[in-house]
Amino acid sequence: MGGEMIVLDGLSLTLRDIVRVAREGCGARLSDEAVTAVKEANALVEEWAASDEVVYGITTGFGDLASVKISPRDRRMLQENLLRSHACGVGIPYPVDVTRAIMLLRVNTLSRGHSGISHATLSGLIDLLNAGIHPLIPCQGSVGASGDLCPLSHLAIALLGDGEAEYKGRIVPVRKALAAAGLKPLSLGAKEGLALNNGTTVMNAVGALALVDALRLAKTADIVAAMSMEGLHGVPWAYDARTHELRAYRGQNDVASNIRRLIEDSEIVERHKRDRVQDAYSLRCVPQVHGASRDALSYIRSVIEVEINSVTDNPLIFPKDREVLSGGNFHGQPLALAMDFFGIAMAEFADISERRQARMVDASLSGLPPFLIEGSGLNSGFMIPQYTSAALVSENKVLAHPSSVDSIPTSANQEDHVSMGGYAARKAVNILENVRKVLAIEMLLAAQALDFSRLSMKPGRGTLAAHECVRGAIPYIRKDEYLHPLIERVLELTERGSVIDAVEAEIGELA
């Protein structure tokens, strides 16, 4: 890792910065202002730790043990005990990009100087990130209040030399990775364990990367819908700007504009636009359905962008006032609601896509060869890919049930309402991946449907660019073939953004 550095001050981190660190290998460092703020807060914590004052998490235990006073000689051990006892997650580890986003966001929130962590310990976390030492963080164990205690503890124990990490493509003990990188385990001071594991950083990191992917996938959904519309000889009347100006949702208007640009100069649309006055809802209402999901993503973005530059641990230090306040910024409810909404919004892209697929394979509705294959009967064609999409859509119906409506008391009822934001974020990613697959299957079908018209009529400028991109990876299907590899190739095209790139090179950037 290394190269360009993102400067962290706790106030100005962006989604693009997160991607650069999480997926492109950029490093991070603290701003001079952040270093000063961190040192001021830590000095006050050290003062309290040496006194007899009752300060939660500094001179007392945690959670329901807040009334237990800790002797001065044990206050450092208190912090390390906290992390080791709380690092009890289960399940598969988060992928490296998510782990790097977690590390980055944790440093960013602590850099505001309201958490009491020392500059040395915070620098140790930055060193792990910049050295490419990625602690294994099991994905299950967070209830979303007090934030992501369990997974963040798995991150923090790496500073002590405990646990395992991904380092240079291998899973190794953290101590071995530290030694290889020329780093050493740390000892924690007062409040540092609590600063490291208390907050919403994990659900925030998962949500931020999912949002970045979803915003691109929304463009893919519009492209695929336009391809299907032309393949089904749809009519253009539903995308007229005058209709959408009467209902001023930004998402709806953006999608309608995208569809108009994608099908511009289409000989297929021109030939068939007088065939009927309207299409089925899965074609006619693409702007309304896709647009509503886009508007939901805009709301989710506003939540995540607030959260990535927020301080979410407890208690919080206010050095200028010489006060420490116990509050609830660790509670993940804002993110839990947003990520539940994310799952619902993304599921709708797949819901309407599957209905378009069903129309394409049904000869009585499409006017195309049954199951989009010549010689149907001997050949089953694209009968079963639509089944696969139906299965994924059905999975999404279960996954889209909101986590945030559930709460289960923890810590002997001291923490008697929790957000379940960690699971809301994780299942949102599962829905996102299902949607990606459903849209890839639709793209495979739509390319085949377009081929039946392309012999005599040219598609729109945007849809033609998309079709040619697909056909550069897979051929027109004349007889039954092993379809799984073909779906995987289209899926790879959409994951790389190749189809979007091809379309935007032809017609300019989509909304």
DSSP code per residue over 92-118:
EEPPHHHHHHHHHHHHHHHTTS-S---
pLDDT tens column, 128-156: 999 999 999 999 999 988 889 999 999 99
Query: Do 410 and 378 belong together in one domain?
Result: yes
**Range from 125-129, 313-317, 463-467 carrying the lowest mean pLDDT:** 313-317
Query: Do 300 and 440 belong together in one domain?
Result: yes
**Sheet with 133-135, side-by-side order of all strands:** 133-135, 164-167, 170-173
User: Exactly one of 56, 94, 167, 423 is catalytic; which is it?
Assistant: 56
Residue 508: strand, helix, or coil: coil
Counting the structural domains of the chain, the total is 2
Residue 289 has pLDDT above 70, yes or no: yes
Average pLDDT score over residue span 279-302 = 98
423 as an active site residue: the answer is no
Supply the pLDDT for residue 44.
Answer: 92
Query: Do 150 and 295 belong together in one domain?
Result: no
pLDDT tens column, 177-208: 999 999 999 999 888 999 999 999 999 999 99
Quote the CA–CA distance of 335 and 338 in Å, as a whole number: 5
- Closest C-alpha among 42, 26, 40, 179 to residue 103: 26
Query: Do 211 and 97 belong together in one domain?
Result: no
Residue 267 lies inside a defined structural domain of this protein: yes
pLDDT tens column, 434-465: 999 999 999 999 999 999 987 789 999 999 99
Contact (Cβ atoms closer than 8 angstroms) between residue 42 and residue 66:
no
> Which residue matches tokens 């695929």?
224
Query: Do 386 and 461 belong together in one domain?
Result: yes
Q: Of 143, 171, 199, which one is at a domain's C-terminal end? A: 199
CATH number reported for the structural domain that contains residue 168 in this entry: 1.10.275.10
Contact (Cβ atoms closer than 8 angstroms) between residue 294 and residue 218:
yes
Q: Of 199, 222, 242, which one is at a domain's C-terminal end? A: 199
pTM: 0.95
pLDDT tens column, 159-175: 999 999 999 999 999 99
Residue 84 has pLDDT above 70, yes or no: yes
Average pLDDT, the chain: 94
pLDDT tens column, 244-271: 999 999 999 999 999 999 999 999 999 9
Contact (Cβ atoms closer than 8 angstroms) between residue 403 and residue 340:
yes
Average pLDDT score over residue span 17-36 = 98
Residue 28 has pLDDT above 80, yes or no: yes
- Closest C-alpha among 366, 346, 347, 364 to residue 356: 366
CATH number reported for the structural domain that contains residue 238 in this entry: 1.20.200.10
Residue 273 lies inside a defined structural domain of this protein: yes
Residue 249: strand, helix, or coil: coil
Supply the pLDDT for residue 415.
Answer: 78
The residue type at 335: L
Residue 326 lies inside a defined structural domain of this protein: no
Residue 323 lies inside a defined structural domain of this protein: no
Supply the pLDDT for residue 49.
Answer: 83
Residue 119 lies inside a defined structural domain of this protein: yes
Please give the share of the chain, as a percent, with pLDDT higher than 90.
Answer: 84
Query: Is 468 exposed, middle or buried, given 0-12, 13-18 or 19+ CB atoms closer than 10 A?
Result: middle
Query: Do 351 and 500 belong together in one domain?
Result: yes
Query: Do 73 and 146 belong together in one domain?
Result: yes
The length of the chain is 511
Query: Do 403 and 459 belong together in one domain?
Result: yes
364 phi and psi angles, rounded to 5 deg: -70, -20
Query: Do 353 and 494 belong together in one domain?
Result: yes
Query: Do 195 and 273 belong together in one domain?
Result: no
Residue 361 has pLDDT above 70, yes or no: yes
**Range from 36-50, 72-86, 434-448, 467-481 carrying the lowest mean pLDDT:** 72-86
Query: Do 191 and 214 belong together in one domain?
Result: no
pLDDT tens column, 49-73: 887 777 777 777 666 666 777 777 7
Supply the pLDDT for residue 66.
Answer: 67
For 246, the domain range is 207-312+341-507
Residue 318 lies inside a defined structural domain of this protein: no
Residue 117 lies inside a defined structural domain of this protein: yes
Residue 275 lies inside a defined structural domain of this protein: yes
